[in-house]
Amino acid sequence: MSKTIGFIGLGIMGKPMAKNLLKAGYSLNVCDLVQAAVDEVVACGAKAYPNAKEVAQNSEIIITMLPNSPHVKTVILGENGVLEGMKPGTIVVDMSSIDPTVSIEIEKEVAKKGGFMLDAPVSGGEPKAIDGTLSIMVGGDEEKFNEVKDMLLKMGDSAVLVGKIGSGNTCKLANQIIVAMNIAGMCEAMVLATKCGVDPERVFQAIKGGLAGSTVLNAKMPMVLERNFNPGFRIELHIKDLNNAMAAAKAVGMEIPLTGEILEMMKALDGKGEGKNDHCGLIHYYEDKEGVEVKRLS
């Protein structure tokens, strides 16, 4: 608990994760491009710095929680970045969901400066970030993982070391494929039920306790029924993850056709301006084609 943590990236996920660390009693140094997010976390007890370099100068563990690979590279490797301020022995924990090859590339640069890096992406979306029950998938050195595991468990209810650096993000890509397929299956099934004249809410109640039941179904079907597409996880971010999955598959000579199909559905919605909707907004792809709306009837 004595180590000071730097937290860079206070977006939909990062802000509640940072707040949970503060609630657990950790000292936190933060920075983000959005001043309102910084002010909110500072009001909870964090100390703000203007850039990643100064956060690193004043912290022993650095957490980054950023949208995609280029953002992580800029924050860690770029001007006024983590490496310019990092002390030898610092542990950098990148909790962003990025291309595994980029995690490997960044880790090499961190090691040259005497630091250590773990890739530790998360699953669970905003609700689980808020209540501190994220699933955290980690790649990197086991000894360094054990040093930060207690800290990670203040943000999640599980933290599993999957393998070497990059393994955490490979695991996250597998997770995102499964989540995408769950959502697509739910949407396809519920539009079919609606078009056949069956109440989709009753279908949900009938199947959720059986083999078709899932965390995804329980979290996303109520949102669809309420026509609530406010993002816990945006379509545009799921597109990013599925693009990374396609790239990872190509690198090992594998075809992942179902992933490719769902990616194209999401891209179609993004092209219509729906990329910032929650990924359960995939229902619109089917609804638009079939001329029905899946909603609560009473």
Token pair for 82: 């983590």
Active-site hit among 144, 172, 220, 240: 172
Q: Which two tokens stand for residue 290?
A: 């079939």
Q: Nearest 5°: phi and psi at 236?
A: -65, -30
Nearest to 189 by CA among 169, 168, 165, 213: 213
Query: Is 295 in the active site?
Result: no
One-letter amino acid of 22: L
In this structure, the strands spanning 122-123 and 134-139 are antiparallel
Q: Which whole-number Å values give the CA distances from 241 to 89, 121, 133, 163, 179, in the listed order? A: 31, 11, 21, 20, 11
Strand-strand pairing, 5-8 and 47-48: unpaired
CA 69 to chain centre: 13
Q: Indicate the residue type of 288.
A: D
Query: How far apart (Å, rounded) are the C-alpha atoms in residues 274 and 266?
Result: 9
Q: Which two tokens stand for residue 245?
A: 């999955």
Question: Alpha carbon 208 to chain centroid distance?
Answer: 25
Q: What is the residue type of 196?
A: C
Residue 140 CB partners (closer than 8 Å, separation 6+): 107, 116, 117, 118, 119, 120, 161, 164, 165, 167, 168
- The residues carrying an active-site annotation are 172
